[in-house]
Amino acid sequence: MSTVNIHLILGSTVSMVIPARVVESGDGGLLLWVAPGTPLWRAAIPPGTHLRDLPPEGSYPLRADRWRHGGALILQPAGAGHAVWWSFTLGQEFRSWYVNLESRVRTRDGADVHVTDQELDITVTPDRSWEWKDEESFAAKTGHPVYWTAAEAAAIRAEGVRVTRLIDSAAYPFDGTWCDFRPPPSWTVPDRPELPLARPPYRAPLDPEEA
């Protein structure tokens, strides 16, 4: 399979559906590439707002859009509650890592990955300086029935702490691997997937073993 559609979900809302090219796929997980300008679907939220700050009960239709950033490599390790993004400039220079704490379910045919965002993230500079991101929003959502319980929040943060140890020790995937990645010239930008008719009738499990 050459592409996988990533469905990014926050609370009860699909925020984005973006096709990504499969770079590697195996027992260790998925490595995906999102090219600049990739056609996608994005939630149509009020201008000047961010989905994390809007009521979770809102309904926001998906509108045709494009990836507005430089390229991104996305590592989704098997059995892990996080993904690691390598962000590149439009000139294909490595810019930073980004750790997205999340849970995932891949469809049986492998064509789609449904990612439930857990709000708390970690930003990592090329020299491996890191900091937590969106801690206040994460705390505010804890205990809300659409998001996560206090016990789940503790597990989410513990997953983040585990990743910070990899960062501090310059261990994979923070050892420089893939920082010089260049997509082959033969790779074309994938087509926009068909518009999803509805949100999946499940939440991606917080415990990867439930998948």
The confidence score (pLDDT) of residue 206 equals 44
CA-only gyration radius of the chain, Å: 17
pLDDT single digits (tens) 164-206: 999 999 999 999 999 999 999 999 999 999 886 544 433 444 4
DSSP type of residue 202: S
Domain that holds residue 180: 3-210
The average confidence (pLDDT) of the chain is 91
The label of the residue with tokens 């809302």 reads 13
CATH (domain of 100)? 2.40.380.10
The confidence score (pLDDT) of residue 193 equals 92
Structure tokens at 131: 């900091």
Provide φ and ψ at 95, rounded to 5°.
-115, -45
Q: Which residues pair with 66 in a beta bridge?
A: 39
Count of structural domains, the chain: 1
Per-residue confidence at 58, pLDDT binned at 50, 70, 90? Answer: confident
% residues pLDDT > 70 (the chain):
92
* 156 burial via Cβ count (<10 Å: 0-12, 13-18, 19+): buried
Residue 42 in contact with residue 50, Cβ under 8 Å? Answer: no
Structure tokens at 110: 């492998």
pLDDT single digits (tens) 22-48: 999 999 999 999 999 999 999 999 888
